[in-house]
Amino acid sequence: MHVATNILVVGALVFVAHAFTGLFSRTRVPDVLLLTIIGIILGPVFHLVTPENFGAIGPVFSAVTLIIILFEAGLTLDLDVLRGAIRPTLALTLINFFLTLITVGFAAQRLLGLNARLTFMLGAIVGSTSPAVIVPLTRRLPLHASTKTILFLESAVSDVLSIVVAIGCLDSFRLGKLRFGPMLGQILATLIIAGIFGALGAFLWSALLRRIRILENSIFTTPAFVFVLFGIVELLGFSGYVAAVVFGAVLGNIETFHRLPWLHPFLSSEPITMNQQERDFLAEVVFLLKTFFFIYVGVSIRFADITLVTTGLILTAAIFLVRIPAAWLGLSRSTPVRDASFVAIMTPKGLAAVVLASMPLGAGLPGGEALQSTTYAVVFVSIVLTSVLSFLIERTALSALYDWLFRRSGFGKETVVDSIPAVSLIEERRRT
């Protein structure tokens, strides 16, 4: 397309994204779904744009978007809520991941007739949930802050699980066997060491922030520091995304850490975090990046074979079915019934799955193309189902079915807080 046409389209997409956000606030039809559909129309349908048009910038743009989304979401976490969410987060993440891996592994083996290691790799690829979908969607749903935190943390931790286990399965083709010990060690090291780097980075940046603000045009320096932190942690072989989450959570709760006497030698004399102007600017950046990120996801999706698309539909249905017992087993019985219902349908897949799905094909493994096409179908259908079900649970009688499933299992009853959008709770906490 002509340069002027490209610029026109970019401007129009920003206005369309604002319209979608307004539509979401009134109807709960998620803007991320509509943006993904625009990407599919521009890419797989009319072939106006292809992932190759983005060149090397595509993966970089995806990484930048996820870093900023995770960091900004980490800033909104309350430390007290975070402490209470660790146990149910780990339980939900592990149960859902391995139930998905096993279910998809066996089902795909029957449906596709591929090597078992390849189908279980497919299970690992689609075992995570997408933070880029979870964060904007849950922010506008009537959820407790603790439930929102569990879903957000699950998306960050499950990405690490998915990447490590999928790469471990890929290595097994070269080594001739799966090595569970090194795989487990890498997962733990990635989470712990990346978390330490994120926390130390937040303490350092809090100490430097007052001096940085003296500089001219310094409003974007905090996200720039997150990029530096991400790059260092990734180059060392750990998860930069986890480091970005922890960095945001610690920086957002820096005043709480200053009340701990044993940390005083490591902290500046005065707790400094991002001010409201910086947060507002970051929110605008997140909005713009999210807009083009989901269009890019839509452009990247391929539907090469109707049989594989059908297989993707069946596997997605299975993923959503096993999510119900995962929520039932992973969540605390004190979780409000309505919150548990939303958790039971929050399992969208995202760009991490799209990227991982290209690895078997790139390695020249038999069945790699089938795995990639099936993953693309699962990614798209899972985003659609999450969006549709979240709307139906909030607005229709479908909620009665999910409520019945969890209420009869002893989950807590809803309170007045359930009717307050999570975003309102966050803003209220900031004011107080």
Closest-CA residue to 96 (of 411, 328, 386): 328
What pLDDT does residue 60 have? Answer: 84
Exposure string of 130-164, with b = 16+ CB inside 10 Å and e = fewer, is bbbbbbbbbbbbbbbbbbbbbbbbbbbbbbbbbbb
Residues 292-314 have pLDDT tens digits of: 888 888 887 777 778 888 999 99
3 state DSSP class of 417: helix
For residues 355 and 156, is the Cβ–Cβ distance under 8 A? no
Q: Comparing C-alpha atoms, which of 328, 344, 329, 351 is closest to residue 399?
A: 344
**Which of the following CATH numbers is that of domain 3-431: 3.40.640.10, 3.30.499.10, 1.20.1530.20, 1.10.10.10?**
1.20.1530.20
Enumerate the domain spans of the chain.
3-431
336 - beta bridge partners?
A: 412
Residue-wise pLDDT for 35-81, tens only, equals: 888 988 888 888 888 777 766 677 788 889 889 988 988 888 887 78
Instruction: Provide the pLDDT for residue 149.
Output: 92
Could you give the CA distance from residue 120 to residue 98 in angstroms, rounded to a whole number? 10
What distance, in Å, lies between the first and last C-alpha atoms of the chain? 51
Task: Give the per-residue pLDDT at 269.
Answer: 67
Specify the 3-state DSSP secondary structure of 364: coil
Confidence of residue 266 (pLDDT cuts 50, 70, 90): low
The DSSP 8-state label assigned to residue 41 in this structure reads I
Quickly list DSSP for 288-339: HHHHHHHHHHHHH-----HHHHHHHHHHHHHHHHHHHHHHHHHS-TTSBHHH
Asked if residue 213 lies in contact with residue 264, where contact means CB atoms within 8 angstroms, the answer is no
The pLDDT, as a whole number, for residue 202 is 93
